[in-house]
Amino acid sequence: DTAVSQTPKYLVTQMGNDKSIKCEQNLGHDTMYWYKQDSKKFLKIMFSYNNKELIINETVPNRFSPKSPDKAHLNLHINSLELGDSAVYFCASSDSDRRGAFFGQGTRLTVV
């Protein structure tokens, strides 16, 4: 049983396209996150979301938008993809801001 699962694992697409990455957690956690890991391996928070509040990292372009149909899902929509969006995107969840988060396996996005 995968705790945090995201699909697809690999995504290759052309510039200008719109794409989505799906994330589901079966841990019953209240908070979910999207992270971007660049080529230098730095992890940067993009969004954190629970059933009360969406917190957006102000550096994230508005082409990126999270969509949460329910507590167990947080999908990431990306419009008008650019070359610089190429990276690994991780979904994560936690039940407390003072405990560690559980991460998905990542989605490697390549924009060509």
CA distance 2 to 61: 30
Q: Is position 97 an interface residue for other proteins (rule: CB under 8 A)? A: yes
Residue 1 or 41 having the CB closest to other proteins: 41
Report CA-CA distances (Å) from 29 to 10, 32, 59, 96.
25, 8, 26, 8
The nearest distance, CB 78 to other proteins, in angstroms, is 19
Integer Cα distance of 33 and 47 in angstroms: 5
52 near other proteins, judged by CB under 8 A:
no
42 binds other proteins, rule: CB under 8 A: yes
12 is a contact residue toward other proteins (CB under 8 A): no
Which residues neighbour 24 within 8 Å (Cβ) at sequence distance 6 or greater?
4, 5, 6, 72, 73
Among 15, 18, 43, 67, which residue interacts with other proteins (rule: CB under 8 A)? 43
* 58/70 with CB nearer other proteins: 58
